[in-house]
A and B are shown apart, each in its own frame.
Chain A
Amino acid sequence: MEYGTNEEQEMLKTMARDFLAKECPKTFTRAMMADKTGISREYWKKMADVGWTGLILPEQYGGSNMTFRDLSILCEEMGRMVTPGPFISTLVMSALPILNAGTEEQKQEFLPKIAGGQLIMTAAVTEMDGDFWPGAIKMQAYPRGDDFILSGTKSFVPDAMAADYFLVACRTKNTPDPEDGITLFIVNKDDWGIYVNPLQTMDETRKQYQVTFNRIAVPSKYIVGEVNKGWQIIKAAAQKAMALYCAEMVGGGEWVLETCVEYAKTRIQFGVPIGSFQAIKHHLANMYTQLEYSRGLMVWAAEAVKDNDPMADLAVSMAKSYCGDTFKMVTGLGVQIHGGIGFTWDHDMHLYFKRARALDTVFGDANYHRELIAKYYD
């Protein structure tokens, strides 16, 4: 496990920061907030051209074959800029299950297009109860000839309007063990009978949808992994996505802190910069401290996932919980330190504040993960 970064990783970081400053300024992000798909294909293609959309895919499928830690460094920079778009939905929640559990035909069909930026995908797992857990999967799929027929509604599906394909988790068997009997299907969004409805969510940089599947026929060749054994596959992808969300939260948190530090130096009240007041200093010191410890956990989680470490699940739960709490605290203080201006729509602080709320809930909030951690000591 290497906590430090190597020269290539430093280069990737610098390159990512430059790319995002140029291609993804806040004006672009705000335009995407108003866009119904939440992403521009032109921007997506530019990301593909620098090798990001296939960053951790093998070269034989058009990827750049970089490591999970590299991906985490990239996501930290993306989080720093609250970048919009279905990056984690496509590369982690969809491409990785195909890579790790899919057939060679599926890999050939989907992975090169994902790496090349021609194809966007998202995973449709969560349903109306809003939680990511196997018991929530009620949407049925039953066999008919060589096909499966999918019927039901998925909710809180990220990036569904932008996606070309969905990876859908359906119940194919009812058993006492909720993890058993879940199957993953690749579904073309253009299939007749799919309805995508936007949800009015707070974080408009990353949109969510309700997707209804009305008797959709999916050929068996589009089943990812074994029938009834899909939960472990999607859970493994979620673990990786969480480790990356932690990187986004740390990156976002650092933007907030830097912005506050700058503001506290220049904002004059009572004839002096507000940063000379201990009340402000102590807020900033607390933000700095918690971000630093969040970074430690985030790096541990990324390395543990990269190395397939037996502690990886624990590391991810600890990082997700702590980074989630920290990002909420830091963005809350970000608004507070900026005072009136921080409360306006025009200031960018609320984009981070809302992203923090969204990321805390996805794949289980801090409380949920603390309970998972407690179970390790049962």
Chain B
Amino acid sequence: MTTEQSSKEAVFRRQVRTWLKTNLPKGWGTPEYKAPERQSEAAQALGEQWTKTCYDAGYAGFGYPKEYGGIVRPDWEIRIIREEFALCGTPPGPMSQGLLMAAPTILRWGQEWQKKRFIPKILSGEESWCQGFSEPDAGSDLANVRTAAVRNGDDWVVNGQKVWTSNWTYADFGLLVVKTDPVAKRHRNLSYFIFDCNSPGFSRRPLKQMSGESEFGEMFFDNVRVPHKNLLGELNMGWYVALTGLAAERSGGFAVGGRSTARRGWGNMESIVALAKETKRYGKTVWDDPVFRQKIAQFAIEGEAMRANGALQAAMSRQGKKIDPNEVSVSKNFSAELRQRSDDMVMEILGAYSQMVEGSPLAVNDGDWVYGMLRWRGATIERGTSEINRNIIAEKILGMPREARSE
């Protein structure tokens, strides 16, 4: 790197750092800061506000063309912004499937008016999204969708039920996969729509999870009218549109260890080591127990393996080598399963205190560790179960024949 470039970077880095200092919520990063309760309206408001503030300052909204509201900057600036944001552990964005699923899907399949109307407000955090795909009888077998739409004039009339909807609470818009052809063959009978969550006949309710909260919900469609112009991709080809979103969703990964990731987040190496050093079991510090040292070191190794593998793949794509899109199944499984292994390890460190949940005065770290363990039991189920991902790896990457199935 030239000295000119490196001094340019240093100036920019200072600029980002100063901006963060002035704009982060008051008390952020100090013990005085009280985060809003999970899933609360206050949390949603903070997420929306924070994203809008970042977007208006040009610190969010990367990776999309300018005409759809994207913020275009040189790569090195984006890298520095991400590094500085990660260093502060900035507030999470709003609860929305917008950035993860809706924006990539609309960009890939959307009509021009859809791109112009929806993407900018996803990037700025002003509109929140959910996605209706899974149903009671369409879990791992996602193509088995029963919710049906019948054409009526310029609209489609939708009836049915969706389940396991993330970010259902505050969503303004939703992505919807419905059966539009009652007789056509599997994968040729579904269509993909954008729907307005304020439509008459649409209702939603929480689904209480084993972690006690309702991050997921259920959605009911009772003669909900969706305009035909809201179709994404071709009619009856919705399965293929959906695959884009599923791949994007899987690539999200889970927050786990490593040296350079999630410095402040839950479950990083430093916080686990700190916990092991301050926890005593049977009169001895956990960190001095060779069995725990082995387990924690293994976690450090696997966290670094994720980082190193990411660097390897980034280098390959820089060199123009094609990376199999099904690789997301590999990284999704690895990060989800590593997350659970580390949760289990932390529970072993906590011993009897691993039973104490949020609210108990005896709960360690206000029950965050235990909450994480419960919440991320879902990691190997949501976004494609570990088993389905293993099938994808074996069939799509390694070329194994498909199993005989009844259709």
User: Of B222-230, B373-381, B389-397, which binds chain A?
Assistant: B389-397
Write out, one digit per residue, whether chain B residues 152-193 have a CB within 8 A of any chain A CB (1) or not (0): 000000000000000000000000000000000000000000
Residues of chain B with a CB closer than 8 A to A367's CB: 294
Q: Could you tell me if B403 and A278 are in contact, using CB atoms closer than 8 angstroms?
A: yes
Verify if A2 is at the interface (C-beta below 8 Å from B): yes
Residues of chain A with a CB closer than 8 A to B1's CB: none
Residues of chain A with a CB closer than 8 A to B356's CB: none
Q: Could you tell me if A293 and B318 are in contact, using CB atoms closer than 8 angstroms?
A: no
Verify if A297 is at the interface (C-beta below 8 Å from B): yes
User: Of B34-42, B77-85, B304-312, B340-348, which binds chain A?
Assistant: B304-312
Query: Which of B269, B290, B301 makes the CB contact (< 8 A) with A322?
Result: B301
Q: Could you tell me if B293 and A293 are in contact, using CB atoms closer than 8 angstroms?
A: no
Q: Could you tell me if A281 and B308 are in contact, using CB atoms closer than 8 angstroms?
A: no
Q: Could you tell me if A277 and B403 are in contact, using CB atoms closer than 8 angstroms?
A: yes
Bound-state Cα–Cα, A373 to B257, Å = 14
Q: Could you tell me if B290 and A278 are in contact, using CB atoms closer than 8 angstroms?
A: no
Q: Could you tell me if A275 and B305 are in contact, using CB atoms closer than 8 angstroms?
A: no
Residues of chain B with a CB closer than 8 A to A14's CB: none
Chain B residue, CB-CB nearest to A318: B301
Query: Which of A272, A288, A292, A315 makes the CB contact (< 8 A) with B404?
Result: A272
Query: Which of B297, B298, B309, B391 makes the CB contact (< 8 A) with A281?
Result: B391
Query: Which of A275, A371, A373, A378 makes the CB contact (< 8 A) with B301?
Result: A373
Q: Could you tell me if B390 and A293 are in contact, using CB atoms closer than 8 angstroms?
A: no
Chain A residue, CB-CB nearest to B295: A370
Main secondary structure of the interface of B (DSSP, over half): helix
Contact A296 B312, CB 8 Å, known A264-B400, A289-B333, A367-B294: yes
Contact A276 B403, CB 8 Å, known A288-B393, A288-B397, A296-B308: yes
Query: Which of B269, B308, B319, B397 makes the CB contact (< 8 A) with A299?
Result: B308
Q: Could you tell me if B296 and A276 are in contact, using CB atoms closer than 8 angstroms?
A: no
Write out, one digit per residue, whether chain A residues 179-222 have a CB within 8 A of any chain B CB (1) or not (0): 00000000000000000000000000000000000000000000
Bound-state Cα–Cα, A32 to B390, Å = 39
Contact A296 B309, CB 8 Å, known A288-B393, A374-B294: yes
Chain B residue, CB-CB nearest to A287: B398
Chain A residue, CB-CB nearest to B276: A377
Chain B residue, CB-CB nearest to A369: B297
Verify if B334 is at the interface (C-beta below 8 Å from A): yes
* Chain A residues with a Cβ closer than 8 Å to the other chain, count: 41
Query: Which of A285, A294, A296, A373 makes the CB contact (< 8 A) with B390?
Result: A285
The interface centre, meaning the residue of B287, B304, B314, B395 with most chain A CB atoms within 10 A of its CB, is B304
Q: Could you tell me if B297 and A370 are in contact, using CB atoms closer than 8 angstroms?
A: yes
Q: Could you tell me if A275 and B334 are in contact, using CB atoms closer than 8 angstroms?
A: no
Contact A276 B301, CB 8 Å, known A282-B394, A289-B333, A293-B306: no
Query: Which of B315, B387, B399, B403 makes the CB contact (< 8 A) with A261?
Result: B399
Verify if A284 is at the interface (C-beta below 8 Å from B): yes
Verify if A3 is at the interface (C-beta below 8 Å from B): yes
Chain A residue, CB-CB nearest to B389: A285
Q: Could you tell me if B293 and A297 are in contact, using CB atoms closer than 8 angstroms?
A: no
Residues of chain B with a CB closer than 8 A to A275's CB: 394, 400-401
Interface residues of B in 300-354 (CB under 8 A from A): 300-302, 304-312, 314-316, 318-319, 330, 333-334
Interface residues of B in 40-96 (CB under 8 A from A): none
Bound-state Cα–Cα, A300 to B302, Å = 13
Q: Could you tell me if B401 and A370 are in contact, using CB atoms closer than 8 angstroms?
A: no
Q: Could you tell me if B273 and A377 are in contact, using CB atoms closer than 8 angstroms?
A: yes
Verify if B402 is at the interface (C-beta below 8 Å from A): yes
Bound-state Cα–Cα, A374 to B300, Å = 9
**A118 CB to closest chain B CB, in angstroms?**
38
Q: Could you tell me if A282 and B308 are in contact, using CB atoms closer than 8 angstroms?
A: no
Bound-state Cα–Cα, A358 to B256, Å = 32
Bound-state Cα–Cα, A5 to B305, Å = 18
**B244 CB to closest chain A CB, in angstroms?**
23
Residues of chain A with a CB closer than 8 A to B334's CB: 289, 293
Interface residues of A in 230-289 (CB under 8 A from B): 261, 264-265, 272-273, 275-278, 280-282, 284-286, 288-289
Q: Could you tell me if A4 and B315 are in contact, using CB atoms closer than 8 angstroms?
A: yes
**B177 CB to closest chain A CB, in angstroms?**
26
Residues of chain B with a CB closer than 8 A to A264's CB: 400
Q: Could you tell me if A373 and B300 are in contact, using CB atoms closer than 8 angstroms?
A: yes
Q: Could you tell me if B298 and A3 are in contact, using CB atoms closer than 8 angstroms?
A: no
**B197 CB to closest chain A CB, in angstroms?**
37
Q: Could you tell me if A289 and B393 are in contact, using CB atoms closer than 8 angstroms?
A: yes
Residues of chain B with a CB closer than 8 A to A293's CB: 302, 305-306, 308-309, 334
**B245 CB to closest chain A CB, in angstroms?**
23
Q: Could you tell me if A296 and B305 are in contact, using CB atoms closer than 8 angstroms?
A: yes
Write out, one digit per residue, whether chain A residues 2-23 have a CB within 8 A of any chain B CB (1) or not (0): 1111000000000000000000
Bound-state Cα–Cα, A318 to B305, Å = 9
Q: Could you tell me if B399 and A289 are in contact, using CB atoms closer than 8 angstroms?
A: no
Residues of chain B with a CB closer than 8 A to A273's CB: 400-401
Chain A residue, CB-CB nearest to B338: A293
Bound-state Cα–Cα, A264 to B316, Å = 29
Q: Could you tell me if A4 and B319 are in contact, using CB atoms closer than 8 angstroms?
A: yes
**A367 CB to closest chain B CB, in angstroms?**
6
Chain B residue, CB-CB nearest to A258: B398
Bound-state Cα–Cα, A3 to B334, Å = 20
Q: Could you tell me if B330 and A288 are in contact, using CB atoms closer than 8 angstroms?
A: yes
**A284 CB to closest chain B CB, in angstroms?**
5
Verify if A154 is at the interface (C-beta below 8 Å from B): no
Q: Could you tell me if A295 and B296 are in contact, using CB atoms closer than 8 angstroms?
A: no
Bound-state Cα–Cα, A90 to B337, Å = 41
Chain B residue, CB-CB nearest to A371: B293
Write out, one digit per residue, whether chain B residues 280-297 have a CB within 8 A of any chain A CB (1) or not (0): 000000010010011011
Chain A residue, CB-CB nearest to B334: A289
Q: Could you tell me if B330 and A289 are in contact, using CB atoms closer than 8 angstroms?
A: yes
**A50 CB to closest chain B CB, in angstroms?**
26
Verify if A331 is at the interface (C-beta below 8 Å from B): no
Residues of chain B with a CB closer than 8 A to A83's CB: none
Q: Could you tell me if A295 and B393 are in contact, using CB atoms closer than 8 angstroms?
A: no
Q: Could you tell me if A3 and B314 are in contact, using CB atoms closer than 8 angstroms?
A: yes
Q: Give me 14 other A-B pairs in contact (C-beta within 8 A), A2-B315, A289-B334, A296-B308 excluded.
A: A4-B318, A275-B401, A276-B402, A281-B400, A284-B394, A285-B393, A288-B330, A292-B330, A293-B334, A296-B309, A318-B301, A370-B301, A371-B297, A373-B300
- Between-chain CB contacts (< 8 Å), 25 pairs: A1-B311, A4-B312, A4-B318, A4-B319, A5-B319, A265-B400, A265-B401, A272-B404, A276-B404, A278-B387, A280-B394, A281-B391, A285-B393, A289-B393, A293-B302, A293-B305, A296-B305, A299-B312, A300-B304, A300-B311, A322-B302, A370-B298, A374-B296, A377-B269, A377-B273
The residues of A with any CB-CB pair to B shorter than 8 Å are 1-5, 261, 264-265, 272-273, 275-278, 280-282, 284-286, 288-289, 292-297, 299-300, 315, 318, 321-322, 367, 370-371, 373-374, 377-378
When A and B form their complex, which 3 residue pairs have the shortest distance between CB atoms, in order from nearest? A296-B309, A4-B315, A281-B394
